[in-house]
Every structure is written in C-alpha cells, then in structure tokens.
Amino acid sequence: MITTTKNKPKYNTFQNVWWMLKNAWKDAKSVLFLCLCTVVLAIGLKLTQLFIAPMVLAKVEQSAPLSELIMTIILFTLALLFLQGLNSYMDSTTTWGRINLRSHLIARVFFKTLSTGYPNMLNTQIQKLKEKANSACGSNRAAAEHIWITLCNLATNLAGFLIYLMMLSNISSILILVIIATSVIGYLSSLRVNSWNHAHREEEGQYQKQARYIKEKAESVTLAKDIRIFGLSDWLIDVQNSILNLYLCFLTRRERIKLFASITDVIMNFLRNGIAYYYLIGLTLQGQLSASEFLLYFNAVGAFTSWITGILQECTTLHKESLDVSTVREYLELEEPFLFENGAPIPTATSYELRLENVSFRYPEAEKDTIQHMNLIIHPGEKLAIVGLNGAGKTTLVKLLCGLFDPTEGRVLLNGQDIRSFNRRDYYELFSAVFQDFCVLDITVAETVAQSISNIDTARVRDSLHKAGLTEKVADLPKGIDTHIGREIYEDGILLSGGQMQRLMLARALYKNGPLLFLDEPTAAVDPIAENDIYRKYNEMTEGKTSLFISHRLASTRFCDRILFLADGVIVEEGTHDELLAQNGAYAELFEIQSRYYQEGVSF
C-alpha cells in the first residue's frame, strides 16, 4: 500500500477563484464576458427545451388551428437551433481564451522553475509541489483551464435552480423538499466515489508512474546493452506484472465503491420520480392541472433535480480544482533563498578576489557538515587546484564559491563584499564552469557552445572548440558546427563519446568568457593523451582569468599556482605540487599510489 501525507492548502476556494478572476482581468478580459454570455445562453436553451413540448400540447388541448400549431413548432425549433448554434460558437470562442490564460500560467511556472534558487531544486517537497503545479496546468482538463468551465456550470446551475424553484413553488413545497432530499442523498453516494478517487489519486498515480518507469527503461536505448548482456528481460517483465497486479487490485476496490453508489442513485431516482408522478397525476385527475401543465411540471421536476445535483457536483469540482490552483500559487510564491532583482549590482572591477571566512556548510537532513570552518582566499588571476578523495567536499566548495549554495555558517566574499547582498543572477555571470553532471540539448554544436540560437559569434565558437581540442572532430561532422547533437529530436543528430561531451562543455565555458573559470573534473572521461593536450592548453585557456581546477588525478595539478588538499571538508595541506611532495604528507602518499599505475614492473 502506498501512503501519502495531506497538507492544508495555503488558500481557500474563494481566494483561488478571486485570483483566477484577477488573472483573467489582466490577461484575457474577454473570457469573463464570454463566460457570462455562455451562462445566459445555457439557461435560455434549457428553458426553451422545457417549454417546447408543453406548449405544443397546450395548442392541441386548445384545438388551435393547424397553422398556429405548426408555427409554434417552427418558432421553437428555430429558437433551439439558434441557441444551440450560438452556444456552440460561444464554447469554441471561450476555449481560446481559456487556453491563453492557462498558457500564461504555464509560462510563469516554467520561468519559476528556471529562475528559482538552486537549493529549491534539491528540495524534494518543492519538487513535488512543482510536479503538482505542472499537472494543474498540464491539459485542457487540468484545473488552470477547466476551472472556467466549472464556474460557468456552477453559475448556470444556480440560476436554473432559482428559476425552477419559483416555478415549482406554485405546486408544492413538500414536493420540492422530496426532490432536494433525494437529490442530495444520490449526490452524497456519488460524492463518496469522487472523494475516494481524490483521496487515492496519488496512490493511483504512483502505480501509473511505476508502470511508465519500467516501460521507459525496458525501451531505453541506453539500457539496451545491459538488458541483453545481463538477461534482465524476465526480471523486468516480472516487475511490470507485479505493478500491474497491484494496480488491478486498486481498480477492483474502486469499482466496488462505484457499484454501491450506482445502486443508491437508481433507488433515489425511482423514489423521486415515483412520488412526483403520484402527486402530479393526482392533481391532474382532480382537474387542478391540464395535461400540458402536468408535462411541464414533471419535466421541471427532473430538471430541478439536475440543477441541485449540478450545484453540488460543481461545488465539489470547484473545491478540488481550487486545491490544484493553490499548488500553482504556492509554487509561484515560493520564498527564494537568494536576492535577485532586489540585490545589489556586482561592482565593476578588472579582477575579482574570492574569500571564504569561517565557512561551514551542511546539506539538509545531513548529520554533519560537508565543509567545516574553512578559510580561503583565491587571488585575482590565480590558478588554484583542489584535490582529495571522494566525499572530501570539493564539488560542494565549488558550489559555495559559485553562489549555488549559501554557507550555513560564515561568509563568502567577492572583493570584500558578502555575496548574499548581490543580485545572484548577476553574480552567476562572473563564472564560466564545467560541472561533473551536465545536460546537452538536442541542438547544434554552435548553439551548444554559444548557449544561444541567435547572434552566435562563429569565430569565437571555433576558437573555443580549438582550445577544448575539438577542432578535428567537428571538422569531420556532416555539417560542422551546424551538426545536431542527439537523436531525440533530429534524425540527423550525432552521438558524442563521454570524453567528447566533456570537451564540448569546456568549449561552452570558454565561449562564455567569464572572469572566473571553474572546472570540476573536466577530464574525467577523456583518455590520457587527450587529457595531456588539455593540460598543455590550460595556460592559454585561463589567460587573464582566475581559475579553479578540481581533479582526482594529482599529476594534472602541476600547472596550477597553488594546490589545496581536502579531507572531510577541511584543507589539510596547501602549496605547490613540489612543496606538497616535499611535505611527504597525505598528498605525497596519494600521488605515490597513483603514479604506480604508470610505472612498469611495480606490483600492488
């Protein structure tokens, strides 16, 4: 059984409806007017449908001339055709406005995802909120668009209820109470189904998500080799069957509840119609109602029932959609960990110094600090290397310096000013970086390097590719720098090796040309010859820049001005390559171990 936690929404239904109305007033005022017109047309259509048969029958009862009877039928038919056509036109017209409003919300959610502070992207609760916000805007049936249909339907049902209530009040208040009671009981039985579905929607979503996950992995080109070499087919089929069986049990439980609700609804319909028939036939036999009036009021009983049920159903739907709209609002209004537009501008300078003052950092829910009370100065123009074993805190240190995280204790300073005071997006502009994990879109080589689709400096692209050692590879591509990377979008796309992708990311960082160049394991996937080529070009790549280089391979740090050896989030050794070897400490020991792999005749 999959369990979920419930959180109280930040905004109630009225607040969310008012928020949507304000968005409509701002972005598509026509939606409000068209919705009002739709309500008026829907009521007019229902009243015309209600009166057509009784009016025709009344003409027959009155022995009206045939021409008058035919004219009545023609007038009502024309009215129905006109109202139905106009109603369909209004529905299609309002559709574009509703889509437009939903598109505005999609754009706002998308921008929030792209621009929110990096720590928010690592918060699992925020990621779940993001998924719910995307789901609330994800289709025509999603809350961000369908809520307008719900509001129109609710307004229509309320107006119809009041009109029919006045009509039936001339007959019997007891009959009205019977209609209301049976309608409410029938609705409550269906509400149990809807409530159960709503309460278990995340459970159902988990089953569907797991089934999609297994299907995607089974069809994955990346995993195709592993599936065949390790014989994973039967195992994947067993996992999929297990998930489908659990989902089948879930569906069985749901259908049992739906069956009970359907039986209850049938009983209430039978009871309501039976009482209405009995009462109205009695009045007709007593001469208090004509046949046409009997038909009118009996049809009104059924319609009145639908208005009551409609009000209850639309209120329930509106509440559910309000919960979804609330998730959109909560996501858009997420508190940011950094200053952006309200931050101070970056000071203009020819060079920049970075300083850590007693910096500690601990990841959320971690038991200990990853970085501990670190003090460090990175001088302008310095080539700094950071080395250490896995888990020493090297990548975390880079993220702190780049401003992706703020320290839990201490300060990060840029030219003596705490970076918390700056516009963080402006601060990011100072950095050209290559991280261990990166993403490449299915675009051209030139667009990947320039990170743009227009105003690309092709000479600068080629220069960056040359410094990254990709000139020959790109020259061999079918369309050179205009060749597409990846095959998910373009059929003519090419696939690059891991080492070539790392070089491409290096070219991207060089093209940006920020004054601070940070490279986190930029040669982890390249061969030793290619790695040596990059090292030889390092001085050229970092000319006029402050650079920071992370590597597990200690031999690659020879070209750096200073080396920091990290262990457990602390700088344990510091100096040049030769100085650290002379200290005969942890750096020298690790260097000796690594160097053995390149020496012939050495046993391990």
Average pLDDT value for residue range 319-327: 90
Task: Please give the distance of CA 412 from its chain centroid, rounded to a whole number.
Answer: 32
Q: Give φ, ψ of 528 to 5 degrees.
A: -60, -35
pLDDT at 597: 63
Within the chain, what is the greatest distance between any pair of CA atoms? 120
Mean of the pLDDT values across residues 245-257? 87
Q: Of 21-35, 173-187, 213-227, where does mean pLDDT reach its minimum?
A: 173-187
Give tens-digit pLDDT for 339-393: 998 899 998 888 899 999 999 999 988 889 999 999 999 999 999 999 888 888 9
- Hey, which bits of 346-453 come out as E strands? 354-361, 371-378, 383-388, 409-414, 417-418, 431-434
**Can you read off the two tokens belonging to residue 75?**
């007038």
Question: What confidence tens digit (pLDDT) does each residue in 402-457 have?
Answer: 999 999 999 999 999 999 999 999 999 999 988 877 778 888 999 999 988 888 99
Would you state the pLDDT for residue 499?
79
Average pLDDT over every residue of 4-9: 57
Q: Write out pLDDT tens, residues 48-71.
A: 888 888 888 878 877 878 888 888
Q: Please say whether the beta carbons of 32 and 93 come within 8 A.
A: no
Q: What is the mean pLDDT of residues 252-277?
A: 78
> By mean pLDDT, which of 110-119, 255-264, 393-402 is the weakest?
255-264
Q: Greater confidence, 436 or 13?
A: 13
CA separation for the pair 24, 382 (Å, rounded): 54
pLDDT classification of 604: cutoffs 50, 70, 90:
very low
Rounded mean pLDDT, 36-45: 89
Indicate if the pLDDT at residue 220 is higher than 60: yes
Q: What percent of the chain has pLDDT over 70?
A: 94
Supply the pLDDT for residue 116.
Answer: 92
pLDDT score for 83: 85
**CA 113, CA 123: separation in Å to the nearest integer?**
12
Question: By the 8 A CB rule, do 370 and 353 touch?
Answer: no
Of 427 and 6, more confident: 427
CA dihedral 523→525→530→532, nearest 10 degrees, is 40
Q: How confident is the model at residue 527 (pLDDT cuts 50, 70, 90)?
A: low
The chain-wide mean pLDDT, for the chain, equals 85
- pLDDT for the residue numbered 601: 47
DSSP string, 253-278: HHHHHHHHHHHHHHHHHHHHHHHHHH
User: CA–CA separation, 474 vs 480, rounded Å?
Assistant: 5
Measured in degrees and rounded to the nearest 5, phi and psi for residue 461 equal -60, -45
Strands 417-418 vs 570-575: parallel, antiparallel or unpaired: unpaired
Confidence of residue 11 (pLDDT cuts 50, 70, 90): confident
In tens, the pLDDT along 487-497 reads 888 888 888 88
Q: For residue 602, name the pLDDT band (cuts at 50, 70, 90).
A: very low
- Confidence at residue 467, expressed as pLDDT on a 0 to 100 scale: 85
What is the pLDDT confidence band of residue 1, given thresholds at 50, 70 and 90? very low
Tell me which of 496 and 114 has the higher pLDDT: 114
Separation CA 442–CA 488 (nearest Å): 7
Q: Which pLDDT tens digit goes with each residue over 141-196?
A: 999 999 999 999 999 988 988 888 888 777 777 777 877 787 777 777 776 776 77
Segment 285-301 mean pLDDT: 80
Domains present along the chain, CATH in parentheses: 13-201+261-332 (1.20.1560.10), 354-596 (3.40.50.300)
Who wins on pLDDT, 39 or 487?
A: 39
The whole-model pTM stands at: 0.76
Question: Cα-flanking dihedrals φ and ψ of residue 371, to 5°?
Answer: -115, 135
Structure tokens that stand for 248 in this block? 């089948």
Lowest-confidence segment of 235-239, 256-260, 506-510 by average pLDDT: 256-260
Find the range with the poorest average confidence among 371-375, 476-480, 520-524: 520-524
Alpha-carbon gap, residue 117 to 286, rounded angstroms: 77
In the structure, what pLDDT confidence band is assigned to residue 599 with cuts at 50, 70 and 90?
low
Confidence of residue 532 (pLDDT cuts 50, 70, 90): low
Tokens coding 452:
């743009």
CA distance 172 to 279: 9
